[in-house]
Amino acid sequence: MNPYVIPSLILVVLVTVGIGAYGLRFARTTSDFLVASRSVSPSWNAAAISGEYLSAASFLGIAGLVLRYGVDVLWYPVGFAAGYLALLLFVAAPLRRSGAFTLPDFCQVRLRSPLLRRLATVFVMFIGCLYLVPQLQGAGLTFTTVTGGSYTWGALAVGLVVTANVALGGMRAITFVQAFQYWLKLTALAVPVIFLILQWQADGRPAVTPPVGATFRTVTTVTVQQDAVLDGTTSVKRGDELTFPAGAPVPAVSSVDAHLGAGWLLPGREGSLFATYSLILATFLGTMGLPHVLVRFYTNPDGASARRTTLVVLALVGLFYLLPTLYGVLGRIYTPQLLITGRTDAVVLLLPEAALGGGALGQLLGALVTAGALAAFLSTSSGLLTSVAGVVFTDVLRAGRGGSIRDFRVATALAAVVPLALSVYVANMDVSRVVGLAFAVAASSFCPLLVLGIWWRGLTDVGAAAGILAGGGASMAAVLVTVLGPPLSGWPAQLVGQPAAWSVPLAFLVMVVGSLLTSKRVPADVGALMLRLHAPESLRL
Amino acid sequence: MRAQLALALRLSLVVATGLGALPLLFAVAPAVGGAQVFGVNLPWLLLGVASFPFLVGVGWAYVRWAEHNERDFTAVIRRPEQ
């Protein structure tokens, strides 16, 4: 085992807790805890938003998917980044000017409906859980891959650190922690990739897709993870050890879905055109509906700075997403054994040692990417937990804004229990896919609510509730069927596996038609509200 | 408000046609998907590298024009008072 990994992990946790404790000195009132008194500077805030956003799915999952499926999955990073453009164009400044704390707050401010507020609370908690569980699972998986220790302990340890940090420091501390973790994550991918590319040059630039398909560069011994059939002929059992000579082609494994031939380079192999467009729609529009992304915007001092912050975030996130693709591509050359075990999510963690050898340099860089992965779990789950705890605090415990800090700590513990338990008990869910489903639910519930609420005077509470129930409910059902239900095939599988292409238009349609039918319920003060959302601050209305 | 919405919709149309047409293009004309630039397949360059500066560029243009709109609006409102 790599001797540098444990010290670097301990260092990351200590620095995280340390910055959290430092932030505690500033946290005085409950308002401080929830939105950091809205006085965080734009550059800090942008780094914090990016740090919070780049989750296990971004840090590990994208490279793993690229290793398996090739160019088609590049829509994931493009969509994750483009989501911030949609947020910037349609939501950022007006949402900040609305003065709401959370998504349920926005429902209250815009439509004055307690019922809609409760509905939004349910969806915030569902999306929060859906997004939090794979983060903790990714943490457990990383722990198993790197240390050989138990999955449960990895997931529990990250869960406890996050819960303690959120409960003790609140959001102010979290802002500093998140900003630190963005730069850590960027460094952890950017520095090793330089050495990896130099090594690739030194090896005589081995081809990414040799004519015979993916091959082993060196003698490799692989432990099979599941009972499977190799190349359609040889049966292997879980735990079998297979040894491949250098230059041998990677066999097709029946239990692992992957593209082995040269078709990996070409688009249109993975899923249909429908699935691709559905994914694009979910990621473009889903970002604005993620609770932990929105809560950050209330920490900007005004609407114009919310816009500028979002632009910086777009640049920071885009910069980061240049890197995972390179790991996936190089993984094709240096870690083809992952195509047999199916643990492709581990490619980022294993690549430095696989490519640079087991020497000190490879081990140090391996420890660096592992520290970055830990930062990814810590930051995203902290942000999610803060926003879910904020909603539990204001809407479930009904503490209101006068509530005490102790109540917020209780809310944090409550919000952490369910995802922690789920992450331990639910079996292997695919990290990136589940995150994609969370985006689909967000895109078909909160995105129509925000866009229509901000830009259309005619929205009513009944129409909004109907739209959220129709679009969000349908996509939620699709998620539950995908995760818990039987395997599907053909068109039903496409429609259920990538629901956004039909559930988002459905949500918009139901919301508009429902609002038109109940147009008498348009709030009387909608004109004044719209002025507040859209008037520039310089007017000082 | 109308000007801001029109601006946002126009720019989202730019992105929708710029990026949204790509899967269709790759499906209709597979030759484009196989084309190589600097020894790298074109779809990898377009999606993996070029799309991010494109998105940031559109975002930058939006912030510029949105602030311009707001300054104009403020100027119109303020003028009668003087």
Place of tokens 């949402």: A95
Asked if B59 lies within 8 A of A304 by C-beta distance, the reply is no
Q: State the pLDDT at residue A40.
A: 64
How much is the ipTM here?
A: 0.78
| Interface with B, mutate which of A66, A85, A208, A447 (most B CBs under 10 A) | A85
Say whether pLDDT at B16 is over 70.
Answer: no
Sign of CA dihedral A333, A239, A3, A162: positive
Q: Which residues of chain A make contact with B43, given a CB cutoff of 8 A?
A: 71, 74, 266-267
Query: Is A527 in the B-facing interface, judged by CB distances under 8 Å?
Result: no
Which residues of chain A lie closer than 8 angstroms to B24, CB-CB? Answer: 273
Contact assessment for residue B61 and residue B15, using Cβ atoms and an 8 Å cutoff: no
Per residue in A54-67, pLDDT (tens digit) is 887 788 888 888 88
Interchain CB distance below 8 Å, A90 and B20:
no
Give the pLDDT score at A148: 75
Chain A partners within 8 Å of B19 (Cβ)? 78, 82, 280
* Among B5, B42, B56, the residue to mutate for chain A (most A Cβ within 10 A): B56
Question: A308 to chain B: which residues are within 8 Å by CB?
Answer: 63
Fold classified for A5-539:
Sodium/glucose cotransporter (1.20.1730)
Chain B CB contacts of A82 under 8 Å are: 15, 19, 51, 55
Among A52, A97, A486, A84, CA closest to A296: A52
Which of the four pLDDT bands, split at 50, 70 and 90, describes residue A174?
Answer: low
A510/B68 Cα distance (integer angstroms): 35
State the smallest CA–CA distance between residue A103 and chain B in angstroms: 22
Q: What is chain A's mean pLDDT, rounded?
A: 77
| Contact list, B52 vs chain A (CB under 8 Å) | 78, 81, 318-319, 321-322
Dihedral sign of CA atoms A443, A448, A449, A450 in order: positive
pLDDT for position B58: 80
Rounded Cα distance, A374 and A382, in Å: 12
CB contact A500 to B (< 8 Å): no
Environment class of residue A490 by beta-carbon count within 10 Å: exposed (0-12), middle (13-18) or buried (19+)?
Answer: exposed
What pLDDT does A46 receive? 84
What residues of chain A lie within 8 A of the CB of B50, using their CB? none
User: Residue B32: what pLDDT?
Assistant: 60
Q: Could you say which of A304, A311, A325 has the minimum Cβ distance to residue B48?
A: A325
C-beta atoms of B77 and A539 within 8 A: yes
Q: How far is B2 from chain A (nearest CA, A)?
A: 9
Chain A interface mutation, best of B14, B26, B37, B55, highest count of A Cβ atoms under 10 Å: B55
Phi, then psi, of A249 in degrees rounded to 5: -70, 150
Residues of chain A found within 8 Å of residue B4, distances taken between Cβ atoms: 534
Q: Which two tokens stand for residue A127?
A: 């999306």
The whole domain housing B77 covers: 2-81
A406: number of Cβ within 10 Å: 11
- Residue A200 at interface with chain B, using a CB cutoff of 8 Å: no
Least-confidence region, from A159-168, A269-278, A359-368 = A269-278
- CB-based contact, A86 to chain B, within 8 Å: yes
Cβ <8 Å between B56 and A315: yes
Q: Tell me whether strands A228-230 and B40-41 are parallel, antiparallel or unpaired.
A: unpaired
> A327 in contact with B at a CB cutoff of 8 Å?
no
Express the helix, strand and coil content of chain A in percent, nearest 5 each. 75, 5, 20
The answer to whether residues A121 and A397 touch, using CB atoms and an 8 Å cutoff, is no
Question: Domain spans of chain A?
Answer: 5-539
Q: pLDDT (tens digit, 9 = 90+) per residue, A113-135?
A: 788 888 888 888 888 888 888 88
Looking at the complex, report in whole angstroms how far the Cα of residue B76 sits from the nearest Cα belonging to chain A.
11
Nearest to A82 among B4, B55, B66 (CB): B55
A512, containing H or E segment: helix A500-517
Task: Give the whole-angstrom CA distance, residue A190 versus residue A312.
Answer: 19
Q: Please, are residues A362 and A73 in contact by the beta-carbon 8 Å criterion? A: no
At residue A466, does pLDDT exceed 60? yes
The answer to whether A88 contacts chain B (CB < 8 Å) is yes
CA-atom Rg of chain B in angstroms? 19
Residue A267 pLDDT class (50, 70, 90 cuts): low
Strand A228-230 relative to strand A234-236: parallel, antiparallel, unpaired?
A: antiparallel
How far, in Å, CA of A419 to CA of A166, rounded? 15
B43:A86 CB<8 A = no
CB-CB contact of A374 with A380 (8 Å): no
For the stretch A397-405, contacts whose Cβ atoms lie closer than 8 Å and that sit 24 or more positions apart, written own/partner, are A401/A30, A401/A31, A401/A101, A402/A30, A403/A30, A404/A30, A405/A27, A405/A29, A405/A30, A405/A33, A405/A170
Q: Is the pLDDT reported for residue A27 higher than 70?
A: no
CA-based nearest distance B53→chain A, Å? 8
- A280/B55 Cβ within 8 A: no
Q: Which two tokens stand for residue A41?
A: 């500077």
Distance from CA of B71 to the nearest CA of A (A): 8
pLDDT band, residue B9 (cuts 50/70/90): low
Contact B51 A81 (CB under 8 A): yes
More confident call, A393 vs B8: A393
Q: What per-residue confidence (pLDDT) applies to A184?
A: 87
pLDDT band at A169 (very low <50, low <70, confident <90, very high): low
Q: What pLDDT is stored for residue B35 in this prediction?
A: 61
H-assigned helices in A302-359: 303-334, 338-341, 347-356
Residues B81, A540 contacting (CB under 8 angstroms): no
What one-character-per-residue DSSP string does A223-291 give? E--S-EEETTTEEE-TT-EEEE-TTPBPPPBTTS----SGGGGSSS-SS-HHHHHHHHHHHHHHGGG-H
DSSP A428: -
Looking at beta carbons, which residues of chain A come within 8 Å of B34? 266
Hey, what amino acid is at A133?
A: V
What DSSP letter does each residue of chain B carry, written as one string? -HHHHHHHHHHHHHHHHHHHHHHHHHHH-HHHHH-EETTEEHHHHIIIIIHHHHHHHHHHHHHHHHHHHHHHHHHHHHGGG-
Contact between B79 and A348 under an 8 Å Cβ cutoff? The reply is: no
A110-118 contacts at long range (C-beta below 8 A, 24 or more positions apart): A110/A453, A110/A459, A110/A523, A110/A529, A111/A453, A111/A459, A111/A460, A111/A461, A111/A464, A111/A523, A112/A461, A112/A523, A113/A461, A113/A464, A113/A465, A115/A461, A115/A465, A116/A461, A116/A464, A116/A465, A116/A468, A117/A395, A118/A395
Residue A285: the pLDDT is 86
Query: Is the Cβ pair B47, A71 closer than 8 Å?
Result: yes
- In B, which residues are within 8 Å of A276 by CB distance? 23
Number of folded domains that form chain B? 1
Q: Nearest-CA residue of chain B relative to A319? A: B52
Question: Chain B: residue nearest A63 by CA?
Answer: B48
Reported as a pLDDT band with limits 50, 70 and 90, residue A440 is confident
Per-residue pLDDT at A255: 64
